[in-house]
Every structure is written in C-alpha cells, then in structure tokens.
C-alpha cells in the first residue's frame, strides 16, 4: 500500500444537522491504491457488536471503536485499508458504519443513505443483528425495502407490465454478496427436529407466505431478489453482559470458546471467499476508482438526487479511460526513451522499437479502460501514439543531423583552412582539392553512429561547398575551358545521382512508415478483439449468474404459491435468454479508425 493505515479513518462524515461529507484525507489514501479492492461493509442496529467483527477481519485487537455504552460510537462510514491476508496484490477495504436506529441522533434520516452507500460501495455486505432472524429482525431491516427509492440502476429505467421501474436482475448485477451475521444466537439449529446449517436457517427465515404483512414480506422479497448470493453466520454470546463492556481488552481465555471458533470461521470465509469489487461487465475496481464512486454517490445524495449506478459507471469510465490513455502514453514514452538510443542507423530500428512498445502500451490501456463507447478513447490513443512516433522520428533525424554535422565540421576543418589560405587556387590545385575532399568523404563513411541522416547530411554539406569548388576549378590554369566545362557537368551529374539515391531512400522510408501504420492498425484491432471477447465472456457469465438466481427464485415462488410473480419472472427470464443469445452469437461488430 502506498500509505499504510495504522488505524481506521472516517471516509464519509455524518455530522449532526449537516449533509454527508467525504473526508478528503481519507479519500486521498483510498485513491492512492491502484490495486483491486475487496470491499467489506458491515451495517446493523447500534450496539450490536459490528466493530468487533471488523477489527477481527483486520487481524487487530483494536481499531474500529467498539463503544461500551448504549450510545452509538461510529458516525458516518469509517474505512480501514489493509493488505489482503489471502489475495496477493489486493487491498482489503473494511467499511464500518454507524449504528442504525440510534434515537439520540439528530439526523436519523441519513440512516437510509448510510445503508444504501454501504451497498453501493461494497463487494460483500454484512448485515449484523442480535438474537434470531424473526419478524422483529426483518421489520428492523426496513432499509432494504427502501433501496429502490435510494438507488437507481439505470438513468432511464423501462417500465414493465407490473409498473415496477426496474426488474431485480438490474440489482443482481450490481449488488454485493449478502452475509447475515446473527449475534448472541441462543437457539438450536434445528428444523422439524432435524439439524440444519446456518444457511438453511437463513433460507427458512426468508420463506414467504401468502397473507403475510406486506412490510415483512417485502423485506424477504428484497433480500431474495436483489442480492446475488446469501450467507449466514450465527454467533454465541461472547462473554457475560458485564464483561462485554471491556470486550476489546478481554483476553481470549475469558471469551466463550464457541464464539471464538465462530468468529474464526466467519473471518476465514470473508478472507477466502469475498471477491474484489467489480462493476458492470466484470471490470475490477481499484482504490482509485472506488474513491471516484464515493465522490459521485455522495455528491448525488447531497444535491437531492438518487444515486444512479449507471451514471456513476459512465462518469467513472470517462475518468478511467482518460487516465488509461495517459498511462499508456507515459509507458510508451518511458520505454522508448529507455531502450531506444538515438540516432538509429536505420528507420527499421526505430519502427521495430515503436511496434514493440506500442503493443505493450495498448495492453496497458486496455487493462484499465472499460465502457469505451465506439472505441473513442482507443482511437485517441492511436492518434497520440502515431504523433509520438512522428515525434521520435523527428528527434531521431535531428540527432543524426547534429551528429553528422559535428563529424563533417571536424573532418573538413583542415580542408576549410587550406581553402581559406588559397592553397588550392593554383595550377593543379583543383585535382589536389578533389583528392583531399574524397579522402575526407571516405573517412566520413567510416565514422560509426551517424544515424539515418548520414547521406542527406553529406549531400547538403557537399552542396554548400560547390561554390568554393567552382572557384578553385576556374582558378586552375592547367585545365582548358573544355575540360572545365566537362568537370562542371560531371559534378552536376554526381550531385543529381546522389539526389536521386536520397529520393529513393526517402520514398522507401515513407513506404515503411505506411506499413508500420497498417501494422499499428492491425495490432489495435487484434488486442481489441481479444478484449471484446473477454468482455463478452464476462457478460455471459454475469447473465448466467442472474439467470440461475432468477430460475431458483422462480422455483421457490412456485412452491410458495406466488403465481403472479412467477409469471413476471418468466418475462424477465425470457428477456435474459434473448440477451444471452445475442451475446453468444457475437453481438454487433466493431470498427477501429486510427
């Protein structure tokens, strides 16, 4: 972690008579984490021992405030970021929330928002309650029945035949895994005289019956239909009531051994099974992107709006995709700068390096980018990479020209001095000048590291000396006028030949650059196809998860006699089948324009 957190810090403040507010110091720590995050949030009524479980998940004795009195200790949402104990290169983000239903709070209206934010931000949501899962416990879970008023999945949800704004599959895709932690559990885990598991106990408690009070039935319905998975843990009372006041200071020898074993079982499950947070399409969330989601959701609440997951994901995609382009370009520049020594002897050398690091840069971009509609950001990356290639080509040519100019100036220094003294402006001087110049040119060819502008630089240099050469030629009295005319034509022909050779070389380089651009296009296309196939597989897996959950719920509803809801679910299942068929067949094609 860039910044090790020795203790928890308030992430979202819930101060009396104030709006919710993001703590900028905590946000900065969260956004500095570029690893995937496993986000575990715990919510429940005040004074039910939530903080003790979170400290255990952190592997610490103390951290989140336990609070020994009846007054709730934790205000808002507190965060603790720690290296994940089981998943390398992941960060465990623990979110402890203030106790719900504290009558002494002046802003109880924010309880529903705290509950909603915990669901929006977490990948595993732990609901902590006391006693048993009975009618009272379900009534206290009224916050879950208000979720559709507190969270929107789509910015413009379609109306279905039942008039419900969004079907449960929308929530299933985005909601975290649901874990119910039942504290001070005193019953035997038996049903009709037969032993049952904790999970079976929860599922039995969530059975729906016709004629049940609507509020109670709605809580069961929401838990069953909104969360992709459910798990239950029961805990014995840890110690005597008096000892509970000093729970964090009690040695384990003073605690109920069954309770300690249950806590260990709970922590092992969370550490091993809780998944990294993902958003639509299976894109993994990092601390950086989680921080952006925190700001987006809290800003929406403070502005009087209902947090919308789709809008938040679109806003996050814009931020992340812009950052992905920047990260890829920065990587490309760094690698080219590190491994490419300018000037290069040939254009191929530069183009090969470009191809290698362009390929890696595209990989860097695609690893971070998501929801790149019409591939706009990848097109932008392609444009910038091509501009960087042209920039490197220009720098390469300049470096070569500078090197060649320095070599020529040094090599021809003596010859320049002789010209200045008039040493060649004598009878027979022109041939001596040609011999000396040829010797210098031969030496120039032997100097290494001149780069790909060596021929052009020599041509330009010799051209700049033509006037001096002509002057020496005309001053040489050993040559007839006819010989001088022939020599002038010979020099012109040589210069033309060199020009033609340079022209062909430039044409060849232009062809190679065009070929490289075509290769770049193909590389973008190849990596994008791989990414799209991966995204398609993730989407199909998401569809299958939702489908299985709906089919399972449909079977339960049939057994319970809720035929109208069975028919509604059938419509949702058919729509899912259509969506899965479209994805399986490949869906719409794509085009990349670079």
Report the pLDDT averaged over residues 338-365.
94
Measured between alpha carbons, how far is 400 from 68 in angstroms, rounded to an integer? 75
Measured between alpha carbons, how far is 140 from 591 in angstroms, rounded to an integer? 52
The last residue of one of the domains, among 493, 510, 527, is 510
Strand partners, 45: 100
Q: What is the CATH number of the domain that holds 227?
A: 3.40.50.300
Q: Kindly list the strands in the beta sheet with 21-22, ordered across the sheet, starting from the edge strand earlier in the chain.
A: 21-22, 9-13, 77-83, 91-97, 37-44, 124-130, 177-183, 230-234
The last residue of one of the domains, among 510, 531, 551, is 510
Q: Is residue 335 part of a domain?
A: no
Q: Is residue 560 part of a domain?
A: no
Q: Is residue 186 part of a domain?
A: yes
Closest listed residue to residue 124, CA positions, set 37, 33, 31: 37
Measured between alpha carbons, how far is 507 from 347 in angstroms, rounded to an integer? 12
Pair 55, 248: CB distance under 8 Å: yes
Dihedral, CA atoms, 358, 359, 365, 368, nearest 10 degrees?
-150
Binned at pLDDT 50, 70 and 90, residue 252 comes out as confident
Q: Is residue 545 part of a domain?
A: no
Q: Is residue 360 part of a domain?
A: no
Q: What confidence score (pLDDT) does residue 589 get?
A: 44
Q: What confidence score (pLDDT) does residue 357 get?
A: 96
Q: Is residue 416 part of a domain?
A: yes
Residue with tokens 């806003």: 315
Binned at pLDDT 50, 70 and 90, residue 246 comes out as low
**How many folded domains does the chain comprise?**
2
Q: What confidence score (pLDDT) does residue 157 get?
A: 57
Report the pLDDT averaged over residues 71-75.
50
Of the two residues 502 and 101, the one the predictor is more confident about is 502
Closest listed residue to residue 54, CA positions, set 63, 90, 46: 63
On the question of pLDDT at 161 being above 50, the answer is: no
The tens digit of pLDDT for each residue in 543-556 reads 888 889 889 999 99
The tens digit of pLDDT for each residue in 171-207 reads 888 899 999 999 989 888 998 889 999 999 999 999 9
Look at 8-22, 249-263, 349-363, 576-590 and tell me which has the smallest mean pLDDT: 576-590
The tens digit of pLDDT for each residue in 26-51 reads 999 999 999 999 999 999 877 667 88
Kindly state the tokens that stand for 51.
Answer: 């903080």
Report the pLDDT averaged over residues 321-336.
96
Pair 57, 271: CB distance under 8 Å: yes
Q: Is residue 384 part of a domain?
A: no
Measured between alpha carbons, how far is 44 from 144 in angstroms, rounded to an integer? 11
Q: Is residue 130 part of a domain?
A: yes
The tens digit of pLDDT for each residue in 118-134 reads 999 999 999 999 899 98
Owning domain of residue 23 = 9-30+37-149+170-280
Report the pLDDT averaged over residues 6-32.
90
On the question of pLDDT at 372 being above 50, the answer is: yes
Q: What confidence score (pLDDT) does residue 594 get?
A: 41
Average pLDDT, whole number, for the chain?
A: 86
Of the two residues 155 and 357, the one the predictor is more confident about is 357
Burial class (CB in 10 A: 0-12, 13-18, 19+), 110: buried
Kindly state the tokens that stand for 371.
Answer: 């929801």
The tens digit of pLDDT for each residue in 431-447 reads 999 999 999 999 999 99
Q: What confidence score (pLDDT) does residue 69 get?
A: 36
| Three-state secondary-structure class, residue 486 | helix
Pairing of strands 37-44, 190-191: unpaired
Closest listed residue to residue 97, CA positions, set 71, 115, 120: 115
Q: What confidence score (pLDDT) does residue 166 get?
A: 57
Q: Does pTM surpass 0.95?
A: no
Cis peptide before 343 (omega within 30 of 0): yes
Count, residues in the chain: 594
Binned at pLDDT 50, 70 and 90, residue 22 comes out as very high
The last residue of one of the domains, among 491, 510, 529, is 510
Q: What confidence score (pLDDT) does residue 31 get?
A: 95
Residue with tokens 């101060």: 15
190 and 42 part of one domain: yes
On the question of pLDDT at 167 being above 90, the answer is: no
Q: For the chain, how are helix, strand and coil distributed in percent, rounded to 5?
A: 60, 10, 30
Binned at pLDDT 50, 70 and 90, residue 290 comes out as very high
Q: What is the 8-class DSSP label of residue 130?
A: E
């Amino acid at each position: 972690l860039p910044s090790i957190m020795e203790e928890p810090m308030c992430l979202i403040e819930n101060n009396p008579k104030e709006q919710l507010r993001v703590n900028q110091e905590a946000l900065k720590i969260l956004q500095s984490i570029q690893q995937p995050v496993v986000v575990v949030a715990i919510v429940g009524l005040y004074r039910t021992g939530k903080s003790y479980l979170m400290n255990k998940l952190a592997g610490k004795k103390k951290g989140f405030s336990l609070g020994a009195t009846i007054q709730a200790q934790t205000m808002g949402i507190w965060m603790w970021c720690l290296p994940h104990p089981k998943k390398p290169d992941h960060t465990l983000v623990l979110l402890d929330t203030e106790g719900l239903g504290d009558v002494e709070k002046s802003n109880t209206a924010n309880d529903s928002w705290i509950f909603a934010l915990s669901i929006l931000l977490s990948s595993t949501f732990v609901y902590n309650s006391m006693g048993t899962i009975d009618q009272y416990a379900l009534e206290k879970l009224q916050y879950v029945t208000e979720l559709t008023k507190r969270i929107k999945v789509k910015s413009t949800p379609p109306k279905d035949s039942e008039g419900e704004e969004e079907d449960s599959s929308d929530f299933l895709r985005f909601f975290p895994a649901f874990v119910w932690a039942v504290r001070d559990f005193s019953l035997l885990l038996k049903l009709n005289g037969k032993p049952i598991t904790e999970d079976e106990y929860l599922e039995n408690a969530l059975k729906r019956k016709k004629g049940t009070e609507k509020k109670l039935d709605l809580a069961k319905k929401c838990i069953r239909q909104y969360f992709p998975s459910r798990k239950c843990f029961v805990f014995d009372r840890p110690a005597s009531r008096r000892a509970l006041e000093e729970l964090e200071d009690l040695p384990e020898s003073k605690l109920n051994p069954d309770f300690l074993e249950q806590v260990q079982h709970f922590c092992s499950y969370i550490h091993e099974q809780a998944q990294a947070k993902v958003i639509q399409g299976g894109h993994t969330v990092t601390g950086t992107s989680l921080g952006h989601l925190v700001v987006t959701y809290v800003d929406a609440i403070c502005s009087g709006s209902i947090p919308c997951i789709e809008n938040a994901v679109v806003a996050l995609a814009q931020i992340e995709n812009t950052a992905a382009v920047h990260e890829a370009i920065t990587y490309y520049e760094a690698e080219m700068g590190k491994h490419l020594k300018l000037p290069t002897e040939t254009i191929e050398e530069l183009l090969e390096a470009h191809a290698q690091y362009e390929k890696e840069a595209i990989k860097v971009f695609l690893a971070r980018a998501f929801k790149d509609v019409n591939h706009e950001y990848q097109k932008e990356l392609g444009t910038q990479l091509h501009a960087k290639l042209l920039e490197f080509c220009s720098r390469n040519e300049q470096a070569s020209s500078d090197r060649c100019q320095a070599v020529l100036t040094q090599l021809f220094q003596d010859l320049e001095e002789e010209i200045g003294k008039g040493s060649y402006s004598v009878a027979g001087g022109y041939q001596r000048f040609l011999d000396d110049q040829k010797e210098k040119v031969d030496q120039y060819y032997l100097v290494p590291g001149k780069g790909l502008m060596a021929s052009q630089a020599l041509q330009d240099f010799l051209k700049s000396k033509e006037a001096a050469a002509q002057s020496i030629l005309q001053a040489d009295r050993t040559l007839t006028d006819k010989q001088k005319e022939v020599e002038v034509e010979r020099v012109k022909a040589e210069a033309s030949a060199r020009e033609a050779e340079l022209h062909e070389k430039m044409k060849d380089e232009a062809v190679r650059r065009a070929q490289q651009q075509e290769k770049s296009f193909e590389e973008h296309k190849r990596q994008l196809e791989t990414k799209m196939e991966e995204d398609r597989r993730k989407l199909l897996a998401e569809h299958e998860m939702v489908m299985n959950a709906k089919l399972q719920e449909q079977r339960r509803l049939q057994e319970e006699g809720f035929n109208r809801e069975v028919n509604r679910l059938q419509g949702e299942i058919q729509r899912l089948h259509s969506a899965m068929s479209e994805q399986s067949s490949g869906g719409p094609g794509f085009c990349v324009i670079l």
